[in-house]
Chain A
Amino acid sequence: MTHAIEVEGLTKVYGQGQRGVTPVLAVDHIGFAVRQGETFGFLGPNGAGKTTTINILTTLLLPTEGAARVMGRDVVKDSYGVREEIGIVPEISNIYEEYSAWDNLMFTARLYGVPRAERERRAKELLTVFSLWEKRDTLSEGFSKGMKRRLCLAMGLMHRPRVLFLDEPTSGLDVQSVLAIREIVRRLRDEGVTVFMTTHNIEEASQSCDRVAIINYGKIAAIDTPENLKATFQGMQSVEVAFCDECDAAALSGLSGVREARHFGDKWRLYTDAPGMVIPVVVDWARQQGLTIASLNTLGPSLEEVFVQITGLALPARAEGEGQRRGRGGKGKQQ
């Protein structure tokens, strides 16, 4: 068995056969496979079907059609067996706030049948890894959001699952907690644990995932490695330039080879099919205008841009007449 998760024709319709309820097709005949030890990102806008899919894979919901297997076990016919193999960290940290961190882990260990001798050793190890050892006897209701998240993750790993489901693992967390969780995911990959992660954070997926699937309107729109997905959209290459002085945005858009100029903070991103050709044009133009270039880079499309392109979502709102804005570059060394 090389696949940790296999999904074939999976479909979920809510409200089917219920009187007075309009059926809603949440997941529409999707199929994918996740290799053992892989970190797999599942991306999609709100309502795309991410949570429904994860709920079916974790046996919380029955599919309307299709099949799914986790570690070779069918999620419908052997849901009990599936639950033995998986750990789950839902979007909302569902810890027992009336319990201390230690008691939360002990309860989880007993629920999963972790032998008594192993329980305390594992709890100590996880609390140390997640920087919660000092707070082990403190009631978790007083924990910060990041600490609760880390405790929830520790609970999900207590029984050493072979597949870990992470639903929006870093949503709303401070930078320190985000980095800690990212590091944990990296270690899990090293330990051979399969991680299935849903996230809104495209950068998160780009950095952590071996492959990503993009789901939209209940269907898989794309599935590949982050870099391959980016390569599919070469038309979204750009030259990013920052000037030390104000410049005429309309003129930038009109430069030879530039398809579109967009303002991002103190920089301008010039979208082009040929970055190598645009760079000397920009440099010449800046010299003619008497502008000092603070920085100049070529950029491939970000996973975020790929996501927006695939899902057809609107790009982040641009100010009216942005193309006519005048921008001032930041300070920096001219390249």
Chain B
Amino acid sequence: MNAQALWPRVRHETARAWIIAEKDIRIYYAKPPVIMWGIALPFFMFLSWSVGRNQPTGALIPALVAITVFFTASSIGPVVIPWEKRVHTFERLLTAPLSLPAILLGKTLAGVVFGVAVAVLPLVAGLALGARITDALALVIGLLLSAGVFSSMGVLFSTLPGQNVGSVMMPATLIRWPLLFVSGLFIPLSNLAVWGQVLAHLSPLTYANDIIHAAMGGGSYFHPALDAAALVVFWTAFLAAGLWLHEMGRQKGL
């Protein structure tokens, strides 16, 4: 395809991706698995960690925002894609005039919107309780990139075998859960053992939490620009891996 034909095609595919995202937003946001795995779970996990700890609100809110965007954005892919495969509506998308990357971009966008929209709630509540934003640009960039990374991570999870939401979401949660403990959310990175610090570098949640902390005056372990760059790398890697695995599964008729 020459460059002249490429741009209209990219515009066309992006527009179709948004149409898919819109549909997912309307249909799937209110589905019980999304509410349970994407909102209730992080909320109660945060409560169990924070209740009884004598920490200022300013220290708690960035972690809550990071946990929220992590769980909400990564819950859309593993719920929506197996659901659509089970009821065969995913085939409808695959046989429409758009590419697999456009379909997965649509699914990712639905996760991004969900992650950002839900994460704004604890952020607003935190601001009302005295938390403050010291770098609005870093916060916006951090939230968007984090939502993108975790949403594409959800799309990657959705390649796990099975058309049942539970059979995909359970292993996905088993992968998500340990990341909480090596990403500086509950234990500051500087207090982790050496092996923990090594693992922390491999977790995208580390950089998401770090940049949100930096944006809310909580100090940071890495420079925010490095956090943003790491998130871009993770996003690209998850999208590429998700695309490859979906294509493989498609050829096997999964």
A residues near B (Cβ < 8 Å) are 14, 18, 55, 58-62, 80, 83-84, 86, 88, 90, 92, 94-99, 107-108, 110-113, 155
Interface centre among A14, A59, A107, A108 (most CB of B within 10 A): A107
Please, how many angstroms separate the alpha-carbon atoms of A230 and B108 in the complex? 54
* Given A62-B251, A84-B97: A90 in contact with B12 (beta carbons within 8 A): no
A110-B19, A113-B12 are known; give 14 further A-B pairs, CB within 8 A.
A58-B95, A60-B94, A80-B97, A84-B97, A86-B95, A88-B91, A90-B91, A94-B87, A96-B27, A98-B26, A99-B26, A111-B16, A113-B16, A113-B97
* Given A94-B92, A107-B19, A111-B98: A61 in contact with B87 (beta carbons within 8 A): no
A-B contact list, 11 entries, CB within 8 Å:
A59-B95, A60-B95, A80-B97, A83-B98, A86-B95, A90-B88, A94-B88, A98-B27, A107-B23, A111-B19, A111-B93
Interface residues of B in 71-125 (CB under 8 A from A): 87-89, 91-99
Contact A94 B99 (CB under 8 A): no
Closest chain-B Cβ to A108's Cβ sits at a distance in Å of 8
Please, how many angstroms separate the alpha-carbon atoms of A62 and B94 in the complex? 13
Interface residues of B in 155-180 (CB under 8 A from A): none
Contact A94 B91 (CB under 8 A): yes
Contact A92 B88 (CB under 8 A): yes
Contact B253 A14 (CB under 8 A): yes
Closest chain-B Cβ to A110's Cβ sits at a distance in Å of 5
Residues of A with C-beta under 8 A to B26: 98-99
Please, how many angstroms separate the alpha-carbon atoms of A83 and B95 in the complex? 6
* B201 at interface, CB cutoff 8 A: no
* Given A61-B253, A96-B89, A111-B16: A88 in contact with B23 (beta carbons within 8 A): no
Please, how many angstroms separate the alpha-carbon atoms of A95 and B16 in the complex? 18
* B223 at interface, CB cutoff 8 A: no
Residues of A with C-beta under 8 A to B95: 58-60, 83, 86, 88
Please, how many angstroms separate the alpha-carbon atoms of A95 and B89 in the complex? 7
Contact A60 B97 (CB under 8 A): no
Residues of A with C-beta under 8 A to B16: 111, 113
Residues of B with C-beta under 8 A to A107: 19, 23
Contact of B96 among A55, A96, A111 (CB under 8 A): A111
Residues of B with C-beta under 8 A to A108: 92
Residues of B with C-beta under 8 A to A88: 91-92, 95
Residue in A closest to B93 when the chains form the complex, CB atoms: A111
Interface residues of B in 210-254 (CB under 8 A from A): 250-253
Residues of A with C-beta under 8 A to B96: 83, 111-112
Please, how many angstroms separate the alpha-carbon atoms of A83 and B13 in the complex? 14
Please, how many angstroms separate the alpha-carbon atoms of A62 and B96 in the complex? 16
Contact of B97 among A14, A95, A112 (CB under 8 A): A112
